């Protein structure tokens, strides 16, 4: 079965090249298959919303 959403090597960083550079996501890879339930959980500020935003706007391969 083919995944309906696939993302590979997703990385998001802020202030790149500066002394306060920080990576909130680095090389995240995943696949979501039909009829599958996915839960993103973790503490506030760990990158859950950033990951969802990133894969929904540009990193999706169908």
Q: What is the mean pLDDT of each run of 10 residues along the chain (62 residues)?
A: 90 91 91 93 91 76 44
How far, in Å, are 26, 34, 36, 47 from residue 22 at the CA level?
A: 10, 34, 32, 12
| Cβ pair 27, 9 in contact under 8 A | yes
Q: How far apart are CA 36 and CA 58, in angstroms?
A: 21
* Count of domains observed in the chain: 1
pLDDT at residue 58, rounded to an integer: 64
pLDDT at residue 61, rounded to an integer: 47
Q: Is residue 62 part of a domain?
A: no
Task: Give just the sign of the alpha carbon dihedral 47, 50, 56, 62.
Answer: negative
Q: Is residue 61 part of a domain?
A: no
DSSP state of 35: T
pLDDT at residue 31, rounded to an integer: 93
Query: Could you tell me the residue range of the domain that residue 34 belongs to?
Result: 5-56
């Amino acid at each position: 079965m083919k995944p309906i959403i696939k993302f590979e090597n997703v990385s998001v960083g802020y202030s790149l090249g500066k002394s306060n550079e920080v990576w909130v996501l680095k090389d995240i890879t995943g696949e979501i298959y039909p009829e599958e339930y996915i839960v993103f959980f973790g503490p506030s500020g760990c990158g859950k919303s950033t990951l969802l935003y990133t894969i929904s706007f540009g990193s999706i391969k169908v």
